[in-house]
């Protein structure tokens, strides 16, 4: 019996640091729900900065004429504008009976998907309008740069 108890004590002692790491520390701004929000916010800021940098590099490489600047401004604006993102009130959803909660969540998902589709359509139209104003060499640069950027994003998403 004593060997089992000592084995249990050793297992408990080894696992305590793991539990401590996974438990949000009091006063730590990057712990718990607030920490996740802060990390999400930082990630979104880094992504926006990278996106803005990519647009600026693309603009330099395209060597736009003065006549193309308004079209660029419209294109860049369409590519950077973010739709409002609202989250459902989970506390309110939790109060609903399960069948109603499922239907409400389904409706919210469909609404969100419709917003995403509309946003993608808007971006596609802005890209087409801008692309149509480019010269042949600029189209080649645009195709290469946006294709390269898309391939990089694909690698990033596959690997987490």
Tens digits of residue pLDDT in 41-79: 888 888 888 888 989 999 999 999 999 999 999 999 998
Whole-angstrom distance between the N-terminal and C-terminal Cα of the chain?
46
DSSP 84: -
Cβ-Cβ contacts under 8 Å for 131 (sequence gap 6 or more): 139, 142
Instruction: Give alpha helix (H) positions in the chain.
Output: 2-22, 32-62, 69-80, 90-95, 98-132, 136-158
Taking the C-alpha atoms of residue 128 and residue 71, their distance in angstroms, rounded to an integer, is 11
Of residues 145 and 18, more confidently modeled: 145
User: Which pair of structure tokens corresponds to residue 27?
Assistant: 């006063």
Tens digits of residue pLDDT in 86-103: 788 889 999 999 999 999
Angle subtended by helix axes 136-158 and 32-62, to nearest 10: 160
Angle subtended by helix axes 69-80 and 32-62, to nearest 10: 160
Band (81; pLDDT cuts 50, 70, 90): confident
Domain boundaries, the chain: 41-158
What pLDDT is stored for residue 104 in this prediction?
94
Model confidence pTM above 0.85: no
pLDDT at 160 over 50: no
Of residues 1 and 128, more confidently modeled: 128
């Amino acid at each position: 019996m004593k060997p089992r108890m000592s084995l249990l004590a050793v297992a408990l002692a080894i696992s305590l640091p793991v539990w401590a790491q996974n438990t949000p520390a009091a006063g730590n701004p990057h712990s718990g729900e607030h920490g996740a929000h802060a990390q999400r916010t930082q990630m979104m800021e880094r992504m926006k900065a990278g996106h803005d940098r990519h647009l600026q590099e693309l603009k330099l490489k395209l060597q736009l004429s003065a006549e193309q600047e308004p079209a660029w401004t419209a294109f860049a604006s369409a590519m950077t504008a973010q739709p409002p993102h609202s989250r459902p009130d989970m506390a309110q959803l939790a109060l609903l009976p399960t069948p109603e909660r499922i239907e409400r969540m389904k409706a919210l998902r469909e609404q969100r998907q419709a917003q995403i589709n509309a946003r993608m359509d808007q971006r596609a139209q802005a890209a087409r309008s801008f692309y149509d104003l480019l010269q042949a060499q600029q189209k080649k640069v645009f195709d290469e740069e946006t294709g390269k950027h898309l391939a990089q994003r694909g690698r990033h998403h596959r690997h987490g």
